[in-house]
Structure 1
């Protein structure tokens, strides 16, 4: 598989399919798990926002949402392993598109909890967004490239109602251009999982101009395994050139991310401290290196 401009394997083809079977089939083979690790942190972010702002049903914008995976994990209390098993199982692989869509709609209705959170997905992939919305994974979609374009009036209206912004891996492709365009609306709280090969500093600096404060959460989080030796070599070179030490992390065969919190009117450090106490949840464990950082896996 070819490398993209960042040095990572290009998975562009899996986001152009009419349903998520290729997405889960491909990413399952490289152990993609960052949405699962992010799940309890996003849950805590929502809880803290509700408690402080008194908003019972917050609106969450998932930047780079693809097929709405983060929304499904929150809305249906499902795990990534369960999604991998489902979308790669022979019965589901045998379904035609309309049958799969109907099955997913019914599955969401039967598994969604009573708690209401409104999810908006932002992505440049029309097919992924269309499926996520049609299946009921997300409530609304913004099909846009905010790196290049300002939001349309209709998109601006959607962004103006956002309370929280989340992402799991799009920063690096998405820059401060997109994030600042989002923040200009309702000044939402933000939580971004960012691969260590990318710096969050430009986003934090641009948000600071809008009255935001940003802080990092302790530890690093496994995103996925390297898809090839060539990809690992390229990323190790990128990290070393940026002054990042990959020893004991990326040298062991995994891409790692860090979590950054940004919120207006300060208090990001306090919120990050609250996040430090979050348990990764079932099926995960915490391991300490002899020399930190803490690994969330």
Structure 2
């Protein structure tokens, strides 16, 4: 899921708010209705980064007509896929799903409208995007709206990829993540890389409240070196309340970070991690 809810089961112990209910709806209106007031913005920051990473990764497979596929982990309703492959902004998506006209549509009407909307804005450099999320309603909507080329609900925290995902992994060259680092662990990434059939890069935005070290170690075991962008942080969203802010400030400090000017100012912040094959 691209938002602050788990793509497995349950929330984060210790104070992070849960948004589970907005991921089991048949379309993304509740998702945006809940997150837009919290100034949810991490997919906006990820958009140019993922486009650049996808283009660089595709350049290694330039003999193939469309390049390798991107697998978006915790993809929810396909927000990252929409931003990667279409001339649309996150602000435009928020407006689209929270405007009065959207409230009167049935899910079927919204799906048809979305399919036409995104098709008209498809970029010429679009790449295949697969989605992975345990929320079946979310991934089914993203697939029906034409945002995902394939969708999977395998829970890799508790088991290996199923046959369909296993076959799809042979096409994956880039794995992306925004926010799900709070809910998926090294188990998910190890399972994905064990099924890979070509060089895989990982681009991940992870909250500063979470240590990425276990995942980085799992990636290293599969030959990937991880670099973190220390030049800046990327805001995710406003806190829901003071309790959540206290949790975040304490978690950042426990990991050796400084919340001043970041979490202390009222927002979750992420760091960007890029993992690519190391020098043999």
Query: How has the CA–CA distance of structure 1 residues 52 and 3 changed in structure 2, closer, same or farther, with 3 Å as cutoff?
Result: closer
TM-score (norm 1): 0.86
Say which SS state the counterpart of residue 171 (structure 1) adopts: helix
Mapped contact 1:62–1:121 kept (Cα < 8 A): yes
Conserved in 2, the CA contact under 8 Å of 1:3 and 1:231? no
* Post-superposition CA distance 1:132-163 (Å, at most 9, x none): 00111111001111011101122101112101
Which of the residues 208, 217, 221 maps onto 1:196? 208
**2:156 maps to which residue?**
146
Bigger shift: residues 96-105 or 108-117: 108-117
User: Aligned residue for 1:214?
Assistant: 226
Confirm whether residue 52 of structure 1 aligns to residue 57 of structure 2: no
User: What is aligned with 2:4?
Assistant: none
| Aligned-pair Cα RMSD in Å | 1.6
- In structure 1, which of residues 36, 61, 65 is the aligned counterpart of residue 44 of structure 2? 36
8 Å CA contact 1:191–1:260 kept in 2: the answer is yes
Judged with a 3 Å threshold, the aligned counterparts in structure 2 of structure 1 residues 210 and 237 are, in CA distance, closer, same or farther, namely same
Distance 1:36 1:99 in 2: 26
Shift in alpha-carbon separation, 1:151–1:196, aligned structure 2, 3 A: same
For 1:261 and 1:56, the matched residues in 2 are separated by: 25
Segments of structure 1 that go 5 or more residues without pairing to the other structure are 268-297
Q: Does 1:257 align with 2:270?
A: yes
Distance in 2 (alpha carbons) for counterparts of 1:15 and 1:103: 20
In structure 2, distance between residues paired with 1:135 and 1:120: 13
Distance 2:269 2:193 in 1: 26
Q: 1:155 to 1:87 in 2, by over 3 A?
A: same
Structure-2 separation of matches of 1:84 and 1:179: 30
Question: Following TM superposition, where does structure 1 have runs of at least 4 consecutive aligned residues deviating by more than 4 angstroms?
Answer: none
* TM value normalised by structure 2: 0.91
Q: CA deviation at 1:3?
A: 7.0
Q: Per-residue displacement from partner, 1:176-195 (whole Å, max 9, x unpaired)? A: 10011111213411100000
- How many correspondences in the alignment? 266
Residue in structure 2 matching 1:120, options 119, 130, 155: 130
